[in-house]
Structure 1
């Protein structure tokens, strides 16, 4: 299985986000993220946010979640950030707000299985670790890095290096939108297991000697 693109859903989310974000001077990233999340018909959107950060991208993701009926979770580092995040979205007309999880982003993401759209901020030093522990759904996922120009100053970033071993990057693209947006579409986290299974599982026959009580394992010949 894989994510299926719907241009109609993407366009509707884009239009809705433009209307919701009219007050922001900088456009591009919220609309694009919203269109992508809705266009791929994602059902589990995860992002992180901290006190004082821009809220526009969160508004766009909330619009996409509303359009697709997705679960939308935002991870914040503390209660202060949680209160400000909810207040900022309410002021933008987003109600009810997304689910808010308080804690370290790396730990929180590792406990959220089945996500299919993840947005990280490259200004945060832990962004690469968050990408590495993401547990995506059976249809794969879209991973987006905003403020990617900031990351490029550090050098050495490659999707194949950052993600867990065995995770397949189907395609990736860097877009000069806002302060840089790097996006990757990855295959299901089960793909590695599936590939192993396709080779045939190792089957063993257990035999217990009735006299000695010793246990012996014999590998079953492949057919």
Structure 2
């Protein structure tokens, strides 16, 4: 069994997230993550969040979890963050996930198994370690780094280096959405995620850019 793309579920989650984020004045990342999580029909969503962080992406993930019936876990550093996270989601009209875990993100993720959608914040110093200890589902997984532009000040980043040995990156893409969104599609063993759905419209053009400092390759899609 593998992740299967559903454009109908993706569109529904996208629209629901747009409605939920109307008052937040934060667009782009939330809708994209929500559509992806719901479109892949993910069943175990994990995110990290800390006090003072933008809440829109969390709203989008909560919407996707509600639409697919997924288990949704948010990891926060302390009780203050837990209270703020729950309050911010409530103000957006979205219920907080039943599992809001306070503690060190790396240790918390290491205790979880079978996740198929993980979102980390690159502003947190431990984000790379969190990615490394993630135990993905046999169906494969989607890993996303938000605020990815921040990594430029923290040295080079390569998915193949950060992830555990034996974890295969089927494909990755960097999107100039929000403050940068880097997404990797992960295969588990011989199983891989299907390619993103194609459109009957004229194909988009992909532009390749290589970071001169880190040597990392980024792909940008031009409509």
Please give the range of the TM-score, normalised by the shorter of the 2 chains: 0.7 to 0.9
CA gap 1:85/1:96 in 2 versus in 1, 3 angstroms:
closer
The equivalent residue for 1:42 is: 42
Separation of aligned partners in 2, 1:2 and 1:126? 29
Separation of aligned partners in 2, 1:23 and 1:93? 10
Q: How many residues align?
A: 191
Separation of aligned partners in 2, 1:76 and 1:116? 19
Report SS of the residue matched to 2:94.
Answer: coil
Separation of aligned partners in 2, 1:157 and 1:124? 14
CA RMSD of the aligned region, Å?
A: 1.3
CA gap 1:179/1:98 in 2 versus in 1, 3 angstroms:
farther
**Which whole-Å deviations, capped at 9, do the CAs of 1:147-184 have from their partners, x for residues lacking one?**
00001232320000000011100110000000000000
Report SS of the residue matched to 2:120.
Answer: strand
TM-score normalised to structure 2 length: 0.83
Separation of aligned partners in 1, 2:186 and 2:83? 33
Contact 2:45 2:71 survives alignment (8 Å)? yes
The equivalent residue for 1:109 is: 109
**Which whole-Å deviations, capped at 9, do the CAs of 1:160-210 have from their partners, x for residues lacking one?**
00000111001100000000000001012xx18x9xxxxxxxxxxxxxxxx
Separation of aligned partners in 2, 1:126 and 1:170? 24
1:126 aligns with 2:126: yes
Q: Which structure 1 residue ranges, 5 or more long, are not aligned?
A: 195-223
Separation of aligned partners in 1, 2:64 and 2:149? 25
List 4+ stretches of structure 1 deviating above 3 A.
none
Q: Between Structure 1 and Structure 2, whose CA radius of gyration is higher?
A: 1
1:62 aligns with 2:80: no
Mean alpha-carbon deviation: is it higher for 111-120 or for 92-101? 92-101
Separation of aligned partners in 2, 1:28 and 1:162? 26
Contact 2:169 2:187 survives alignment (8 Å)? yes
The equivalent residue for 1:74 is: 74
The equivalent residue for 1:165 is: 165
